[in-house]
Amino acid sequence: MIGGKQIYGAIRTALARAGAGGLVFAVLAVLAGVSNGCATLVVWSMADPHSLVKAQHKLGEGKLAVLIDDYLAPLENPQLKRIITKQIAEELAAAKLKISVIPYHRVAAVRQEDTSGKKLSVQRIGMRAGAHEVVYINIVRFDLYDSPDDPVLRPNMLGYVKVIEVGSGKRLWPVQSSGQRISHRDRLLGTIDVSTSQREKLWDQLARDLGHKVAVLFYDHREQAGSAKRQ
């Protein structure tokens, strides 16, 4: 027979093997086999699937501008940039970072102030918006389908993220000049025809997913599957 001390010892061993990197699940299964009249104790242990993921970069304190370029994948509605910025701002605030994200409309206004026809640099936009740092997002794919010829709905996006210091104009992160790759590919939604309002909801959710992918680069979080909170 398996005594209390044996069970306690097995649990402690499982916890020790799993390590201290987060929560641990220890599953005990007593197989009531009738082999020699003794039950067999089996212990499985595995790392917590929601283990802590460290921030890839620590943003500096102060004002932060979110600058979004979509030249390679024009967004269907310019207001999607507002949704992306709002998602990032809300998550950074929830993570209690000492950062104030400059409202989208302020950054958009700065980009429209220059009438020379020349593209303003990221540094100049950040400076005029009053930011200390800029999170620059280059969207290269943002679509509801995998390809123009594919009738199956599957929202997906691809982009690259950089952090620029406004004072010096230098890239603080990442090392690679192209930026940190982010991507999202939703579940298959079928070949159904969607109304205009349904399409707008899908676009909005994809924008929130993109904002979430950007935000989690900058704060410690528990890894979990799925999209940003659906509204």
pLDDT at 20: 44
| Other CB atoms within 10 Å distance of the CB of residue 118 | 7
Q: Using the 8-state DSSP alphabet, how is residue 96 labeled?
A: T
**pLDDT tens, the chain, 231 aa long:** 556 566 556 555 554 554 444 444 444 333 344 444 554 545 444 545 568 999 999 999 999 999 999 999 999 899 999 999 999 999 999 999 999 999 999 999 999 887 677 789 999 999 999 999 999 999 999 999 988 777 789 999 999 999 999 999 999 999 999 999 999 999 887 776 788 899 999 999 999 999 999 999 999 998 765 556 555
The pLDDT score that the predictor gives to residue 217 is 98
Residue 66 bridge partners (DSSP): 135
Question: What pTM value is reported for the model?
Answer: 0.77
Domains annotated for the chain, with CATH where assigned, are 4-48 (no CATH), 62-222 (3.40.50.10610)
Number of Cβ within a 10 Å radius of residue 1: 6
Neighbours of 176 (CB within 10 A): 11
Token reading at 46: 């595995």
Residue type, 83: I
Q: What is the C-alpha separation between 92 and 99, in angstroms, rounded?
A: 7
User: Within 10 A of 26 (CB to CB), how many other CB atoms are there?
Assistant: 16
Residue 229: predicted pLDDT: 57
Length of the chain: 231
Cis ω for the linkage preceding 174 (within 30 of 0): yes
- DSSP reduced 3-state for 177: coil
Amino acid letter, 16 = A
Residue 48 is predicted with a pLDDT of 56
What pLDDT score does 151 carry?
A: 79
Amino acid of residue 18: A
Phi/psi at 136 (nearest 5 deg)?
-100, 125
Closest CA to 183 of 151, 215, 214, 148: 214
Cβ-based neighbours of 185, under 8 Å, separated by 6 or more: 154, 155, 156
